[in-house]
Amino acid sequence: MTLAKVRTAHSTARTIWSDIAYPFASLNLKELGGEIMHTIDTENPAGGMMALSKHGQWALPESVESEIEKFDFESDRLPTRWYPAGKNKPIVVDPELAAGRMSIVGTRVTVEIVHDRFFNAKEDIAYIARDLSLKKTDVEEAIKYARAA
């Protein structure tokens, strides 16, 4: 996070909440995706968030946070990997693997290959897992994801 963003956030907070002497000490702040956010309604998970470092731009916390959590970021804040089903599932889009197609984490095996072998070639899950050196649970998750997509 740059000093310029911190200064912008502080200036925005001082302008909006002019009656608060120390806004950074008083507001419910957190860093989210490289921005300084203020949660307006902490008791309502669907309540609003404001990006103070973006001059008070509003954000929707549930949708923003849940989607941001599906990405891995490099130190330059650019996303490097996307887990479309969430990080607890073995499905990833990584531009450095499988030509950026949806694949099984840590492999170059695409979800499409697993899907085709299971649904079109009628191969069983255990065989696909053995043949592609995958965990059976990863093959099952790839099939579930492909079916839902």
Predicted TM-score of the model (pTM)? 0.61
* Span 35-52, pLDDT tens digits: 898 887 766 655 678 899
Task: Say if CB 76 and CB 105 are below 8 A apart.
Answer: no
* Span 122-139, pLDDT tens digits: 999 999 999 999 999 999
Domain 71-148 listed as CATH 3.40.1130: no
Q: What residue ranges do the domains of the chain occupy?
A: 3-68, 71-148
Place of tokens 């997509």: 149
Residues 18-45 have a mean pLDDT of 82
